[in-house]
Amino acid sequence: MTADTLPRVVFFDAAGTLFHVKGSVGEIYLQHARKYGVTASPQAIQQAFARAFADAPPLAFSVSDPKEIQSCERLWWFDVVHNVFYRLGMFEKFDDYFDEVFRYFAGPDAWALYPDTVPTLQALVDRRLELGVVSNFDSRLYEILIGLGIDRFFESVTLSSFAGAAKPSPKIFQRALAKHGVAPIQALHIGDSLREDVQGAAGAGITGILLDRHRDQSCPPSTVTITTLDELLALVNRT
């Protein structure tokens, strides 16, 4: 970047980048499922969830009415969770169970901020950078951001379910850019997925930065990688 194209906007992925599930999805699913007679181990549930989530279509829809989108979101997640227990063994009153876990993951109690999230966001805002979220999440994210106390940092939130396209599609990034009125070269995007965040951002002309907290991702040498959000500040200062 040159002096005329210093970053004006920094976009972030949400889950896995700014915050994470408390415990694991497998543990939480089992916690709510025990009273319905489920005896599978949290590890088995976690593995079934990973497969079901990977097999699911993108969380993006062709409808535009907000209520219709929310209905589609719920149905999308119903299919994922149903797929989990179809693999492990279905049980009575599954609909009631799904209602419970869907509501649980809508609230902040299911999530925890990474320790570096708030200090990094505050430091970027202090540098007069605009911040946004670009996420393959559903509309429950708004309540989560508010509950975790970080909604105040973001001038935009772009969700795949409302954008009609999910990362790594360039379309979702283009929608985010339009909200800030900036060119791709004036933006950065940080996330924990090489494919969705780094390669997806690059497809829209945005510089993507991989957040590899556990140093366990294999990626091309040219990939800009950080292991904590704190390291982002030095990259912004150098651009």
Domain carrying residue 12: 3-18+114-238
Q: What is the pLDDT of residue 194?
A: 96
Q: Are residues 215 and 102 in the same domain?
A: no
What is the pLDDT at residue 1?
44
At 85-109, the pLDDT tens digits run: 999 999 999 999 999 999 999 999 9
Last residue of a domain, one of 77, 109, 141: 109
Tell how many helices (H) and how many strands (E) occur in the chain.
Answer: 10, 8
Tokens (6 digits) for 104: 């649980």
pLDDT one-digit tens code per residue, 105-155: 999 999 999 999 999 999 999 999 999 999 999 999 999 999 999 999 999
Cα-based angle 98, 59, 129 (whole degrees, multiple of 5): 115
Cis status of the peptide bond prior to 108, with omega within 30 of 0: no
Based on the domain organization, do 233 and 135 belong to the same domain?
yes
User: What is 117-139 written as a DSSP string?
Assistant: HHHHHHHHHHTT-EEEEEES--T
* 163/90 same-domain check: no
The length of the chain in residues reads 239
Domain end position, chosen among 83, 109, 135: 109
Whether residue 175 sits in one domain with residue 72: no
Cβ(22)–Cβ(112) below 8 Å: yes
Per-residue model confidence as pLDDT tens digits over 178-221: 999 999 999 999 999 999 999 999 999 999 999 999 988 888 88
Q: How far is CA 89 from CA 33, 38, 69, 80, 86, in A?
A: 12, 8, 30, 14, 5
Task: Say yes or no: 120 and 207 in one domain.
Answer: yes
pLDDT digit string, tens, across residues 35-88: 999 999 999 999 999 999 999 999 999 999 999 999 999 999 999 999 999 999
Whole-angstrom distance, CA of residue 172 vs CA of residue 131: 16
Q: With contact defined as beta carbons under 8 Å apart, do 133 and 154 qualify? A: yes
